[in-house]
Amino acid sequence: MLGTQMDARAFMERVAHELGRVNPAEIHRLSELCYECYENGKFVFVIGNGGSGSNASHFCEDMGKGTLKRSDFDNDSKKRLKVLSLTDNTPYILAWGNDEGFDRVFVEQLKNLASPGDLLIAISGSGNSPNILRAVEWANKHDLTTYGCTGFTGGKLQSLAKYNFHVPLDDMGIVESIHLTAFHWVVDDCHRRISL
Q: How far is CA 154 from CA 19, 120, 164, in A?
A: 17, 17, 9
Q: How many CB atoms lie within 10 A of CB 182?
A: 22
Query: pLDDT for 87-101, tens place per residue?
Result: 999 999 999 999 999
Element spanning 113, H or E: helix 107-113
184 CB burial (10 A radius; 0-12, 13-18, 19+): middle
Q: Could you tell me the pLDDT band of residue 1, with boundaries at 50, 70 and 90? A: low
For range 11-36, the mean pLDDT: 96
Query: pLDDT for 33-53, tens place per residue?
Result: 999 999 999 999 999 999 999
CA 103 to chain centre: 18
Residues of the domain holding 189: 2-194
Q: Could you tell me the pLDDT band of residue 196, with boundaries at 50, 70 and 90? A: confident
Query: How many domains is the chain built from?
Result: 1
Q: Residue 11 and residue 18: Cα distance in Å, rounded?
A: 11
CA 154 to chain centre: 15
For range 53-74, the mean pLDDT: 91
pTM of the model: 0.96
Biggest CA–CA distance in the chain, Å, is 53
Query: pLDDT for 106-134, tens place per residue?
Result: 999 999 999 999 999 999 999 999 999 99
Residue 85 pLDDT greater than 70, yes or no: yes
> Poorest-confidence range of 2-6, 46-50, 71-75, 105-109?
2-6
Q: Residue 119 and residue 44: Cα distance in Å, rounded?
A: 5
The CATH number of residue 21's host domain is 3.40.50.10490
Residue 130 pairs in a beta bridge with none
In three-state secondary structure terms, 23 is coil
What is the residue-averaged pLDDT of the chain? Answer: 95
Q: Residue 129 and residue 71: Cα distance in Å, rounded?
A: 41
Q: Residue 17 and residue 64: Cα distance in Å, rounded?
A: 31
